[in-house]
C-alpha cells in the first residue's frame, strides 16, 4: 500500500511551523486515542499514522530529507534515534515519545483507563560495534548481532506498591492560608510504576533483572560510514516491572580495504605500472568492489594521470547517486638495473624523445586537480 503524505495526514501546509504541527498532531492524537476508541483498529491505525507523520516532520533532519526525497528519503534503517524499519511505530514508542502531548487532555496524569496515572520507565540503551567491509557497505547488509540485554527474569512476581496503592503518585494535603491544597508527586518507593517486586528468582539483581543473550538482526543500509550510529528501537535493555526497552545503538566500524581507499562516496586506487607499460600502453586489471575491470592505458601515459571509473564508488546513505573509483597512475622506476638494461638507458639518455616535456599533451597539476573535482 502506498504511504500517505505526512503533511496530508496531519492536515497541515508544507511550510507549517513547529507549533502548527504540534497542534495538528495533538488534535488527531486525541481524536484517535485508544482510550477513546477501545478495540477500534481503524482508529488505532490513524493514531499510529499521525504519530509517525509527526515524528518525522517534528525532526528537522528527517523533515528535510522527507521534503527532498519523500518516503524514500527515510528508508533504510532509520538514522539518529528514529528507527521505524518500515513497520511503523508501536504504541509504546508513541506513548514514550509523545506522552507530553496528551498530558492535559487526559487528566494531568497521562493516560486514563488501564494506563492510569502510572509512568512507564524506559530501559537504558545498549551499544555495539559492527565491523563492515567495503563490499558490505557498498551493497548494504543484514547482520545478526549477539547482545547481552537486561531482561526481566522469568518467575518474578510483583505486588501493588502499598506506599501509593498502585497509583504511582503520592498525594499530600497542605494547609495554606487559601485553604487545603493538594499536591502530588512520583511515588519514591516504586518510582511511579505502581508495582514493586514481591519475589524474584535467584541470580537476578535487585530489580529482578538478568542478563540474557539475544540475537538481533540489523539491516544496515548501503553507504554507511565509519563512526555512524544506527539505532534499533526497543532492542536495548528492558526496564524493571512493566517498563519499555531502550534502544540498541549500533556503531559502524569500517574494515580497511586492501587496495581501495575510501573518501566519502569515492574510492581511490594507486595503480603502479612499469616503464614499458607506460611507454607501450597496457590493459591492467583493476579490482573494484563488485568485480574486476580491465582499463585501457594509452601509450605514453604519465605518472600522476588520474582515471575515473564512473559509478564504481559507493552509494551515499544520505543522498542519491553513487561515487566513482579514481585511479591514480604511478610509473614504477626500476631500482636495480642489470648490465643490458643499464646500457639501454644510457643509450637513451641523450635521446630527445626521452626528455621530459610536460607541456606536451599532459595536463598541469592544477588541471588534474580541477578534473578530479568535476
Task: List contacts with Zn ion (CB under 5 A).
Answer: 161, 163-164, 187, 189-190
Among left, alpha and beta (phi > 0; psi -120 to 50; other), residue 102 is alpha
Q: How far is the CB of 183 from Zn ion (least distance, A)?
A: 16
CA distances from 114 to 111, 169, 240, 307 (A): 8, 16, 19, 67
Q: How far is the CB of 241 from Zn ion (least distance, A)?
A: 11
Nearer to Zn ion, 17 or 157 (CB): 157
Q: How far is the CB of 159 from Zn ion (least distance, A)?
A: 11
Question: Are the beta carbons of 310 and 155 closer than 8 angstroms?
Answer: no
Nearer to Zn ion, 169 or 288 (CB): 169
Q: How far is the CB of 197 from Zn ion (least distance, A)?
A: 12
Nearer to Zn ion, 77 or 243 (CB): 243
User: Which H or E element spans position 306?
Assistant: strand 306-309
Nearest CA-CA partner of 365 in 310, 277, 306, 308: 306
Residue bearing cell 504504541: 91
Nearer to Zn ion, 165 or 364 (CB): 165
Nearer to Zn ion, 107 or 188 (CB): 188
- Exposure string for 111-122, b = 16+ CB within 10 A, e = fewer: beeebebbbbbb
Nearest CA-CA partner of 135 in 256, 232, 252, 219: 256
Q: What is the dihedral of CA 165, 168, 172, 178, to 10 degrees?
A: -130
Nearer to Zn ion, 166 or 236 (CB): 166
Q: How far is the CB of 185 from Zn ion (least distance, A)?
A: 11
Residue 164: how many other CB atoms lie within 10 Å: 25
**Radius of gyration of the chain from Cα atoms?**
32
Nearer to Zn ion, 12 or 161 (CB): 161
Q: How far is the CB of 189 from Zn ion (least distance, A)?
A: 5
Nearer to Zn ion, 170 or 204 (CB): 170
CA distance 262 to 269: 9
Q: How far is the CB of 169 from Zn ion (least distance, A)?
A: 8
Q: How far is the CB of 165 from Zn ion (least distance, A)?
A: 8
State how far Cα 244 lies from the chain centre. Answer: 21
Query: Positive or negative CA dihedral for 339, 344, 347, 353?
Result: negative
Amino acid at each position: 500500500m502506498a504511504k500517505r503524505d505526512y503533511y496530508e495526514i496531519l492536515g497541515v501546509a508544507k511550510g507549517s511551523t513547529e507549533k502548527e504541527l504540534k497542534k495538528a498532531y495533538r488534535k488527531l492524537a486525541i481524536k484517535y486515542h485508544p482510550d477513546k476508541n477501545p478495540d477500534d483498529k481503524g482508529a488505532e491505525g490513524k493514531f499510529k499514522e499521525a504519530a509517525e507523520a509527526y515524528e518525522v516532520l517534528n525532526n528537522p533532519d528527517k523533515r528535510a530529507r522527507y521534503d527532498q526525497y519523500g518516503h524514500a528519503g527515510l528508508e533504510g534503517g532509520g538514522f539518529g534515534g528514529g528507527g521505524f524499519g518500515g513497520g511503523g511505530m508501536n504504541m509504546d514508542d508513541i506513548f514514550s515519545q509523545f506522552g507530553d502531548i496528551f498530558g492535559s487532555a487526559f487528566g494531568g496524569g497521562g493516560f486514563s483507563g488501564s494506563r492510569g496515572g502510572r509512568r512507564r520507565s524506559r530501559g537504558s540503551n545498549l551499544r555495539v560495534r559492527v565491523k563492515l567491509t567495503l563490499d558490505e557497505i557498498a551493497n548494504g547488509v543484514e547482520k545478526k548481532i549477539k547482545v547481552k540485554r537486561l531482561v526481566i527474569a522469568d518467575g518474578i512476581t510483583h505486588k501493588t506498591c502499598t506506599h501509593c496503592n498502585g497509583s504511582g503518585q503520592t498525594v499530600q494535603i497542605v494547609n495554606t492560608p487559601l485553604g487545603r491544597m493538594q499536591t502530588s508527586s512520583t511515588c519514591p518507593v516504586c518510582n511511579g510504576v505502581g508495582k514493586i517486586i514481591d519475589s524474584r528468582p535467584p541470580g537476578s539483581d535487585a530489580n529482578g533483572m538478568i542478563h540474557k543473550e539475544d540475537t538481533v538482526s540489523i539491516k544496515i543500509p548501503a553507504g554507511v560510514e565509519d563512526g555512524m550510529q544506527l539505532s534499533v528501537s526497543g532492542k536495548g535493555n528492558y526496564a524493571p516491572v512493566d517498563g519499555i526497552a531502550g534502544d540498541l545503538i549500533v556503531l559502524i566500524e569500517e574494515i580497511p580495504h586492501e587496495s581501495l581507499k575510501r573518501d566519502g562516496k569515492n574510492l581511490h586506487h594507486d595503480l603502479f605500472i612499469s616503464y614499458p607499460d607506460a611507454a607501450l600502453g597496457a590493459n591492467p586489471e583493476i579490482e573494484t568492489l563488485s568485480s574486476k575491470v580491465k582499463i585501457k592505458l594509452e601509450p605514453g601515459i604519465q605518472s600522476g594521470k588520474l582515471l575515473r571509473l564512473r559509478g564504481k564508488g559507493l552509494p551515499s546513505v544520505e543522498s542519491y547517486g553513487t561515487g566513482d573509483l579514481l585511479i591514480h597512475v604511478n610509473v614504477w622506476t626500476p631500482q636495480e638495473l642489470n648490465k643490458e638494461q643499464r646500457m639501454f638507458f644510457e643509450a637513451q639518455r641523450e635521446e630527445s624523445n626521452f626528455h621530459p616535456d610536460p607541456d606536451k599533451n599532459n595536463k598541469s597539476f592544477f588541471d588534474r586537480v580541477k578534473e578530479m573535482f568535476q
